[in-house]
Amino acid sequence: MELIANPNPNQMIHLNHQIIDKPSSSFIEANTKAVSLEHLKNDCIIPVFSKDNESTISHYQFVDTLYRQVQARYPDYIIKEPEIRVSHVIKGRIPSAIGKPAKELQEHEKTIYYERCAFLIHILQMKKTINGNELSLSIGGVRSLSQENLYSKKSLEKFKVFIGFKNKVCTNLCVSTDGVADDIRIGSINELEQHTDQLFLNYNEEIHLENMERMSNYKLSEKQFAHFIGKARMYQHLDKHEKQGVFPFTLNDSQINTVVKDYYNDRYFKRDIDGSINLWKLYNLFTGANKSSYIDNLLDRNVNSYEIVKELGISIENNSKNWFLQ
């Protein structure tokens, strides 16, 4: 199958005053709800490791520590309050409410905590424009207590931290491979700053932006897009041996359906009149569909979307073979 370059990439670039905007939505949508930092601090209990009764690092500590770290790192910028999403609430009750029917419980008799938490911190003035879309630098984290063995003694706990950009027009996250530390293991909250400092040092903002801007230089024809979607569905059913040497694609069937629907209908990233779609639009269709992921998979699939679109661009630029297009 022929790979084609976009002959008019400059037509995709707009001036700052042409930036499109729409009402804000969440960076993740699946099975989550918005909560405040104060809610995590004042209304949630802290689960413990049952064998030694040592407390876990709370979601509040995680978010608040990174929030203060960002404020210290960017003292001359306005840092918005963290946008926090949680899921999988674990409910309980105080001892005096034992045996009381659930419908009769008073608020002070209920206890809760959330198994999973994701948050995003926006740095308002650090903005870039790509393909007519305004991007703002954003930093955040992901934590899931489902990955901890709370029935054992206290051990190192796993956290994920990321730095990247949020597309204002669609609230999609744009995260590159070097913008994610997805396996931070710490025994105390004080160790978190060391890991996040290292992440900030390793993250190359300029290269990330250059790679995203380059996406608009290439496009897929309607046939190539259809071929890619078919291969994406096939990839999920390949056996281990067949997957070797094929670039992974982690969006699920439901999310691929969303990509196809938005290819036709998305207000900002749908196909061109001739059915073609440039890679910047395709990338945003992927990251938009990824917002339906559970918190556990959000970052992995986001980075995978970035990497596979980058691979498509390399294939087009070099006229080289790509399993998803050949």
d(CA 311, CA 60): 38
CA–CA distance, 158 with 227 (Å, rounded to integer): 38
pLDDT at 141: 97
Angle at the Cα of 89 from the Cα atoms of 83 and 95, rounded to 5 degrees? 125
pLDDT given at position 105: 85
| Cα–Cα distance measured from residue 269 to residue 278, given in angstroms and rounded to the nearest whole number | 9
What pLDDT is attached to residue 11? Answer: 39
Report the alpha-carbon distance of residue 274 to residue 252 in Å, rounded.
27
- What ranges do the domains of the chain cover? 9-15+211-318, 17-203
Question: Mean pLDDT of successive 10-residue segments in the chain (326 residues)?
Answer: 46 35 67 94 93 93 96 92 95 86 85 95 91 94 93 93 95 95 91 92 94 96 96 93 91 97 97 97 97 94 97 94 91
SS3 per-residue string spanning the chain: CCCCECCCHHHHCCCHHHCCCCCCCCCCCCCCEEECHHHHHHCCCCCEECCCCEECCCHHHHHHHHHHHHHHHCCCCCECCCEEEEEEEEEEECHHHCCCCHHHCCHHHEEEEEEEEEEEEEEEEEEEEECCEEEEEEEEEEEEHHHCCCCCCCCCEEEEEEEEEEECCCCEEECCHHHEEEEEEECCHHHHHHHHHHHHHHCCHHHHHHHHHHHHHEEECHHHHHHHHHHHHHHCCCCHHHHCCCCCCCCCHHHHHHHHHHHHHCCCCCCCCCCCEEHHHHHHHHHHHHHHCCHHHHHHHHHHHHHHHHHHHHHHHHCCCCCCCC
- Please give the pLDDT value at position 12: 38
Helix (H, G, I), strand (E, B) or coil at 84: strand
For residue 33, CA distances in Å to 68, 102, 119, 121 come to 23, 22, 11, 16
Looking at residue 17, its pLDDT comes to 32
pLDDT of residue 174: 96
Report pTM.
0.88
User: What are the φ and ψ backbone dihedral angles of 21, each rounded to 5 degrees?
Assistant: -140, 155
Write phi, then psi, for 140 (nearest 5 degrees).
Answer: -160, -170
Nearby residues of 80 by Cβ (< 8 Å), 6 or more positions away: 121, 122, 123, 124
Q: Give the side-chain half-sphere CA count within 13 A for 6.
A: 23
- Structure tokens, 124: 């308002």
